[in-house]
Structure 1
Amino acid sequence: MFRENPNKKLSFAERGAIVALTNSVLGVREIARQLGISPATVGLWQFRFLETGDILRREGSGRPRVTTPLQDLRLLRVVLNKPITKSKEIADTADVDVSRQTIVRRLKAVNRIPRRAVRKFFLSPQHIEDRFEFATLHAYRDAQWWRSVIFREENTFGSDECGRVFVHRPNGTRFEKDHVQIYDRSWRKTVPVCGCFSAEGSGPLIQIHGRFTGQQYVEILENHLLSWAIERFLYITLLHL
């Protein structure tokens, strides 16, 4: 038996198991092995039971909390108003002088778990309208037709200054509006590419050098994308995103 979190305090059931296994005349090391805890912890609770006759934790034992219930509430209010917030900003806004680890523990206790935020580029109203029009136009297509489709796209990968951004959110809310990081690239460094993908997976990604001309487009199709597609499909429908 191994504990999921070896640093967590023993539960009442685990303390009871120490006493029960001790009564079964098992040694300290064997009890520790079976319960997945240290021999020192086993010895502590064996002595505590012999001394007091119970396995209750002493009142006030353990490290005292460094935050009050009111401070915990202020921490929660900060992330409810702004889920994508750095720990330092949470502490400053809530006016609570505690460590990042304490903030994480308090928010986890109320199901606000820090996770990497989903990143999406900003979409203008025209982008949204174009995507809706595309989906409406092809809504009647069946799965077999989509399996024969190859999507081709030219795009420019650019650097940004966002770094790793975390969002404090409950389970099952990854794509909610307030939990998604919308960002624009800084464009300090860019790499233009052309590629394709389908239900069979992604195709080759070709870097575009200089201005993307019609001649380059034809060469990429003939030398890279079409050869990849012919190896995988008998019938091809090419769509440009």
Structure 2
Amino acid sequence: MPAVSLINKARVIALVESGMSYGQVAVAMGIPKSTIYSIVQKWRREQTIVRRPGSGGRQVSTLAQDEALVSKIKRRPFATAASAAATTRFPGSTKTARRRIRTAGIRNYVAARKVRLTPRHKELRLGFALEHFVHDNDFWNRVVFSDEKTFQSSPNGRLRVYRPRNTRYEPQYVCSRGRPKRASHS
């Protein structure tokens, strides 16, 4: 359950002090009865509803270092978190660098791949579209398109890219490549 906001904590205190029971306040606010009890006890004990600072360790990077890391990834989305951390001299670990990048709303995805089209390819595609533009749905229902299966013999794995959500096909995040060398097998 998410943390109870300060406004809701103040409402809880006001409702309890107006005479409502913990159970009635819990039902009215949609907050568990045990949480209502904890809020009221803290109020009675410390006269405050504000949380104490967390007990976690200190943050290893400053806001400026975090921003430098994120801007490096935005400028070079195909870079790795480790290389961006090294070039920006990020003081934390690679795992911390990845966390800071993710907090900025940028995630690591497999890059979309797109074959670079030459002017000749574009001309041929436009010609095909114009030639078959006149056909109706009955014609297209009888057409079967098939894809060729290509195999890659290089050891390169899938290329990854850091990008915000829903930006898969934006040009800066797409891996453009030349026409593949194909070999057929029958």
TM-score range normalised by the length of the shorter chain: 0.5 to 0.7
Q: What is the Cα deviation at residue 142 of structure 1?
A: 4.2
More displaced stretch, 55-64 vs 68-77? 55-64
Q: 1:160·1:186 contact (CA, 8 Å) conserved in 2?
A: no
Q: What is the Cα deviation at residue 55 of structure 1?
A: 2.2
Q: Summarize the Cα distance change of 1:191–1:62 in structure 2 as closer, same or farther, 3 Å threshold.
A: same
Q: Summarize the Cα distance change of 1:113–1:149 in structure 2 as closer, same or farther, 3 Å threshold.
A: same
* Percent of pairs with identical residues: 28
Q: 1:15·1:55 contact (CA, 8 Å) conserved in 2?
A: no
Q: What's the secondary structure of 2:61's corresponding residue?
A: coil
Q: Summarize the Cα distance change of 1:72–1:48 in structure 2 as closer, same or farther, 3 Å threshold.
A: same
- How many pairs align? 175
- The code of the aligned residue for 1:99 comes to S
Counterparts of 1:186 and 1:161, CA distance in 2 = 15
| Counterpart for residue 48 of structure 2 | 54
Q: What's the secondary structure of 1:161's corresponding residue?
A: coil
CA RMSD of aligned residues (A): 4.0
Q: 2:60·2:91 contact (CA, 8 Å) conserved in 1?
A: no
Structure with more of its chain in strand, by fraction: 1
- Of structures 1 and 2, the one scoring higher in RCO (CA 8 A, sep 6+) is 2
More displaced stretch, 136-145 vs 67-76? 136-145
Q: What's the secondary structure of 2:151's corresponding residue?
A: strand
Q: What is the Cα deviation at residue 164 of structure 1?
A: 4.2
- 1:37-76 to 2 correspondences below 5 Å: 48-59=42-53, 62-76=56-70
| Counterpart for residue 178 of structure 1 | 172
Deviation per CA, 1:121-165: give whole Å up to 9, x if none: x33514444334333433444444323211134443224433343
Counterparts of 2:36 and 2:93, CA distance in 1 = 31
Q: 2:77·2:162 contact (CA, 8 Å) conserved in 1?
A: yes
Counterparts of 1:35 and 1:191, CA distance in 2 = 64
Q: What is the Cα deviation at residue 91 of structure 1?
A: 0.9
Counterparts of 1:169 and 1:157, CA distance in 2 = 28
Q: What's the secondary structure of 1:97's corresponding residue?
A: coil
Matched, 1:147 2:148: no
Q: 1:95 aligns with which of 89, 93, 99?
A: 89
Q: What is the Cα deviation at residue 175 of structure 1?
A: 0.3
Q: 1:118·1:175 contact (CA, 8 Å) conserved in 2?
A: yes
- The code of the aligned residue for 2:70 comes to L
Q: What is the Cα deviation at residue 68 of structure 1?
A: 1.1
Counterparts of 1:12 and 1:116, CA distance in 2 = 38
- The code of the aligned residue for 1:16 comes to K
| Counterpart for residue 22 of structure 2 | 25
Q: Summarize the Cα distance change of 1:176–1:49 in structure 2 as closer, same or farther, 3 Å threshold.
A: same
- 1:1-241 to 2 correspondences below 5 Å: 2=1, 10-12=3-5, 16=9, 23=16, 24-26=21-23, 48-59=42-53, 62-120=56-114, 122-125=115-118, 126-183=120-177, 192=184, 208-209=185-186
Q: Summarize the Cα distance change of 1:144–1:42 in structure 2 as closer, same or farther, 3 Å threshold.
A: farther
Q: Summarize the Cα distance change of 1:25–1:92 in structure 2 as closer, same or farther, 3 Å threshold.
A: same
